[in-house]
Amino acid sequence: MSNTYKKLAVLGHPIAQSKSPLIHEYWIKKYGVEGAYGAIDIHPDDLEKDFGALITEGYTGLNVTAPHKETIRKYCDYFDDAAYEIGAVNTLHIKDDKLHGSNTDAYGFAMNLETSFPDFNWTKGPAVILGAGGAARAVAFALKEKNVPVMKICNRTIFKASNIAADMGGFVMPWEERREAIKNCNLLINTTSLGMVGKDSLDMKLDVLPHDAVVYDLVYAPLMTPFLLDAEARGNKVVTGIGMLLYQAQKAFETWYGILPDVDEDLRKIVLQ
Ligand code: ATR
């Protein structure tokens, strides 16, 4: 662990709504380490112009969020396996003038489930992913790493599901067949934006879902989406999306400080306010 001052920030567009400053400032204070964590808004058209200048300002680390997770790769000197395979970087560590790009989203996804249900058996049966955007790629990578036996990807735009299936292994199911897809599933994950505050709700019938399947929604505003409420009402175990945000941050903090910080109840309360 090193306790030299670290200049840190999250980079995205827009960025005002990001919870990352709250999370990392909480840990900086809790662990008494030196540093500050800000938020930087760069429009995609200005990334080329502004990113180089940003690095010369002496940042130790950055989190990268939409819409820069893919484009930022061209500035990286090194990648970890997750960033390489997912094709997106959410954490940068700047060491000896070299940019190390990593992706902690898959870690965050898996840790959130494993800390919620420590007995969960990833290899017991198929997993179904709803959606095929950036978040789905990270989830598919995590499922592959956990040796989930069968992965089915249902998306409205079929070619996006096909791309993930080709890269990570898995089967593509048409969006219209999502009800049939979950028949024997062990884990059902919503990675779409449906159900989020201000978006349409997720129209997903759960009548054929096994009662012992775990249902996981990456959406965390609201914390309990109608999809999760439906699942809970029929007796399924549910996992909310807030933990994925907290655990991806946990791994990023460890990258910079060498400390794996606690995801404690006070922190959960702060981010849910
Ligand atoms: P993220 O990076 O957070 O995953 P994204 O790349 O914009 O965000 O992906 C959003 C996902 O929600 C996509 O799978 C999208 O489906 P398409 O690939 O067909 O666009 C899905 N989604 C958004 N609105 C949807 C809707 N009304 N019906 C079905 N799927 C929807």
Q: Do 80 and 123 share a domain, yes or no? A: no
Closest-lying ligand 1 atom to the alpha carbon of residue 156:
19
Q: Do 127 and 209 share a domain, yes or no? A: yes
Q: Do 111 and 98 share a domain, yes or no? A: no
**Residue 8's pLDDT band (cuts 50, 70, 90):** very high
69 is catalytic: yes
Strand bridging mode 91-95 / 61-64? antiparallel
**Nearest residue by C-alpha to atom 20 in ligand 1:** 157
Strand order in the sheet with 151-155: 171-174, 151-155, 127-130, 187-190, 214-217, 237-239
Task: Please report whether residue 20 resides in a domain.
Answer: yes
Mean pLDDT of the 25-36 span: 98
Maximal CA-CA distance, the chain: 56
Local structure of 186: helix, strand or coil: coil
Question: In this predicted model, what pLDDT tens digit does every residue of 75-128 receive, in sequence order?
Answer: 999 999 999 999 999 999 999 999 999 999 999 999 999 999 999 999 999 999
**What secondary structure letter does DSSP report for 202?**
P
Task: Please report whether residue 118 resides in a domain.
Answer: yes
Model pLDDT, residue 3: 62
Number of alpha carbons in the 13 Å side-chain half-sphere of residue 255: 27
Does the pLDDT value for residue 240 go beyond 90? yes
Mean pLDDT of the 248-256 span: 98
Q: Do 12 and 98 share a domain, yes or no? A: yes
Q: How many domains does the chain have?
A: 2
Question: In this predicted model, what pLDDT tens digit does every residue of 141-186 receive, in sequence order?
Answer: 999 999 999 999 999 999 999 999 999 999 999 999 999 999 999 9
Mean pLDDT of the 201-211 span: 98
Q: Do 198 and 134 share a domain, yes or no? A: yes
Residue 189 near residue 218, CB atoms below 8 Å: yes
Does the pLDDT value for residue 45 go beyond 80? yes
Closest-lying ligand 1 atom to the alpha carbon of residue 157:
19
From the number of C-beta atoms within 10 Å of its C-beta (0-12, 13-18, 19+), residue 147 rates as exposed
Q: Do 114 and 236 share a domain, yes or no? A: yes
Give the span between the Cα atoms of 93 and 76, in whole angstroms. 10
pTM score of the predicted model: 0.97
Give the span between the Cα atoms of 206 and 95, in whole angstroms. 48
**Separation of CA 14 from chain center:** 17
Local structure of 200: helix, strand or coil: coil
Q: Do 124 and 216 share a domain, yes or no? A: yes
**Residue 2's pLDDT band (cuts 50, 70, 90):** low
Mean pLDDT of the 249-262 span: 98
Which CATH number do you get for residue 179? 3.40.50.720
Does the pLDDT value for residue 1 go beyond 70? no
Mean pLDDT of the 225-230 span: 98
Q: Do 145 and 234 share a domain, yes or no? A: yes
**Residue 132's pLDDT band (cuts 50, 70, 90):** very high
Task: Please report whether residue 1 resides in a domain.
Answer: no
Number of alpha carbons in the 13 Å side-chain half-sphere of residue 216: 31
Model pLDDT, residue 186: 98
Which CATH number do you get for residue 10? 3.40.50.10860
Six-digit token string for 197: 């505050």
Task: Please report whether residue 40 resides in a domain.
Answer: yes
Task: Please report whether residue 74 resides in a domain.
Answer: yes
Q: Indicate which residue of 6, 69, 152, 251 is catalytic.
A: 69
Residue 254 near residue 261, CB atoms below 8 Å: yes
**Mutational test site, ligand 1, from 157, 193, 200, max ligand atoms within 8 Å of CB:** 193
Residue 102 near residue 91, CB atoms below 8 Å: yes
* Domain assignment of residue 230, given as a range: 107-240
Six-digit token string for 70: 């893919």
**Residue 25's pLDDT band (cuts 50, 70, 90):** very high
